[in-house]
Amino acid sequence: MHLQGTMVINERGRLVIGGCEVVQLARDFGTPLYIFDEDCIRENCRRFYQAFNAGSGRAEVIYAGKAFLTTAMCRIIASEGLGLDVVSGGELYTALAAGFPVDRIYFHGNNKSYAELCQALAAGVGRFMVDNFAELELLSRLSVERGQVAKVILRVTPGIEAHTHEYIRTGQIDSKFGFTLPNGQALAAARRADELPGIEFKGLHCHIGSQIFELEPYSEAATVMMELAAAVKEATGLVTAELDLGGGFGIYYSAGDEPRPVSAWAAAILTRVEAEARRLNLPQPRVLVEPGRAIVGPAGSTAYTVGSIKEIPGVRKYVAVDGGMADNIRPALYGAKYEAILANKANLPPAERVAITGKCCESGDMLIWEAELPRIESGDILLISCTGAYGYTMASNYNRLGRPAAVLVRDGVADLIIKREDYSDLIRNDVLPARLVRTC
Ligand code: LLP
């Protein structure tokens, strides 16, 4: 396994994150446990902030909260000067509860409800990332009713195919997201935004997909979107002051993943936008990017306790841990590959090849099909790295497993940032109708 962020192996052969022994964290907080390395999160924020020169006001880095969002995470993101992309009333509520600067909140979503739009207008979010005509009309009506003007960025489907899993590909024409560019809908949306009261057009947005390693789709997106900006200007006179090229920057999960340095993404995007602005004789837009995974993915890991071990001679050795698809659905959903280490035997060489499985009642509940690990025993603490993004946020209570706790570690101190769900949490929303009360 690649050691990420502040991970080191100490003289006792134990894995340490943020100055805390993982074995000790498991003892203190129980397992499964999400462990977030604060220095690593901050370092990733700074890499983006600096590479895009966000302090200059010519670019902004917006953290995509869907990757991992809690009130503590909001505080970290806010203190690093990033904006925040929220996609639901729940994410917005979290950000507001954390006191996130409201003008730096970008409200996404392909089906924002009436209630969510009202909530966002009342809060005064910085930008509405409008996804479709119905939303545009409704937002206009609601803004006018409230005597407000909503600052709007139009989400566009540019017709760019990125090489990534089809479930997380979003730039292609056949997509549920955004106004389609090639068939003229995006331009029509800009015209409508221009006509409607209560709407101030600020710019254009696209997000081509996630876990992308190539630079070319981003520069291509920049060209296509700048050409749209030129068409919008010609048709309406509207200036695209902000161009948001989304997130999706690929990270390391397992051998074979070769992420680019952030500076390479930044250079590819910024140079292309500048060049296109010159070519098309447009003012330079402020460039926005929305990394989620690249900020928090490598900074999070999950510690499990090894339980039952089943060896089928000549076939496979199944090592079961006390979590699984309920706390990390990505292997089952996308075939995502991860790496693991035994936190209590971190300095021992690999001795066997095993399959790491979860405790859910499904054969598909596999975390890693092939892991090379030292001789493994029940009671060992197994840590899977790079689970920080879309692990907790996609977790479920399948099989009535409580969602794990999360701790934030830094300089030898571990702070709880999400409590473990206990059995009472699991039945908290259950309602027993009166007619069933007397049945047993
Ligand atoms: N901006 C927009 C508009 C998005 O839809 C997304 C991700 C992002 C930014 C952030 O993308 P990132 O930098 O985190 O790749 N559950 C999937 C990922 C779904 C991503 C959805 N949108 C997974 O676990 O891989």
Active-site annotation holds for 206: no
Q: Is the pLDDT of residue 168 over 70?
A: no
- pLDDT of residue 345 exceeding 80: yes
Quick: pLDDT tens for 123-149.
999 999 999 999 999 999 999 999 999
* SS3 annotation, the chain: CCCCCCCEECCCCCEEECCEEHHHHHHHHCCCEEEEEHHHHHHHHHHHHHHCCHHHCCEEEEEEHHHCCCHHHHHHHHHCCCEEEECCHHHHHHHHHCCCCHHHEEECCCCCCHHHHHHHHHHCCCEEEECCHHHHHHHHHHHHHHCCCEEEEEEEECCCCCCCCHHHECCCCCCCCCEECCCCHHHHHHHHHHHCCCEEEEEEECCCECCECCCHHHHHHHHHHHHHHHHHHHHHCCCCCEEECCCCECCCCCCCCCCCCHHHHHHHHHHHHHHHHHHHCCCCCEEEECCCHHHHCCCEEEEEEEEEEEEECCCEEEEEECCCCCCCCHHHHHCCCCCEEECCCCCCCCCEEEEEECCCCCCCCEEEEEEEECCCCCCCEEEECCCCCCCHHHCCCHHHCCCCEEEEEECCEEEEEECCCCHHHHHCCCCCCHHHHCCC
Ligand 1, atom nearest to 250 Cα: 15
**Statement: residue 438 has pLDDT above 90:** no
Residue 229 scores a pLDDT above 70: yes
pLDDT at 186: 97
Query: 172 CA distance to ligand 1 centroid (A)?
Result: 15
Ligand 1 nearest-atom number relative to CA 336: 25
How far is ligand 1, taken at its centre, from the CA of residue 268, in Å? 20
Burial of 137 (0-12, 13-18, 19+ CB in 10 A): middle
| Whole-number Å distance between alpha carbons of 233 and 43 | 38
pLDDT for residue 163 is more than 70: no
Nearest protein Cα to ligand 1, atom 19 = 168
Is residue 173's pLDDT more than 90? no
Q: Is the CB of 251 under 6 A from ligand 1?
A: no
Q: What are phi and psi of 397, to 5 degrees?
A: -100, 25
Whether pLDDT at 294 is above 80: yes
**Which positions ≥6 away from 429 have C-beta within 8 Å?**
none
Q: Could you tell me the pLDDT band of residue 165, with boundaries at 50, 70 and 90? A: low
pLDDT exceeds cutoff 90 at 405: yes
What are the residues facing 318 on neighbouring strands? 310, 355
Query: From atom 24 of ligand 1, which residue's Cα is the shortest distance away?
Result: 390
**173 C-alpha vs ligand 1 centroid, how far in Å?**
17
- Averaged pLDDT score across all residues of the chain: 96
Residue nearest to atom 15 of ligand 1 (CA): 248
Cα 65 to middle of ligand 1, angstroms: 9
Mutate-to-test residue for ligand 1 from 45, 208, 210, 253, highest number of ligand atoms within 8 A of CB: 210
Q: Is 293 in the pocket of ligand 1 (CB under 6 A)?
A: yes
Mutating to test ligand 1, I would choose from 66, 156, 338 the residue with most ligand atoms within 8 A of its C-beta, which is 66
**Alpha-helix runs per DSSP H in 98-151:** 114-123, 133-146
> Measuring from atom 12 of ligand 1, which residue has the nearest CA?
248
Distance CA 383, CA 33 (A): 9
**158 vs 170, which has greater pLDDT?**
158
d(CA 375, CA 58): 53
Which pLDDT belongs to residue 171? 64
Ligand 1 centroid from CA 55, angstroms: 24
For residue 168, which atom of ligand 1 is closest to its CA? 19
Of 359 and 159, the structure prediction assigns the larger pLDDT to: 359
pLDDT tens for 45-62 read 999 999 999 999 999 999
Find out whether the beta carbon of 206 lies less than 6 Å from any atom of ligand 1: no
Ligand 1 closest atom vs CA 165 = 25
Selecting among 20, 361, 386, 440, the annotated active-site residue is 361
Cα–Cα distance measured from residue 143 to residue 193, given in angstroms and rounded to the nearest whole number: 13
Could you tell me which residues are beta bridge partners of residue 151?
Answer: 200
What value, to the nearest 5°, has the Cα angle with vertex 23 and ends 17 and 27?
Answer: 120
Helix ranges (DSSP H) in 177-249: 185-195, 216-236
The mean pLDDT of 240-264, rounded to a whole number, is: 97
Pocket flag, ligand 1, residue 330 (CB < 6 Å): yes
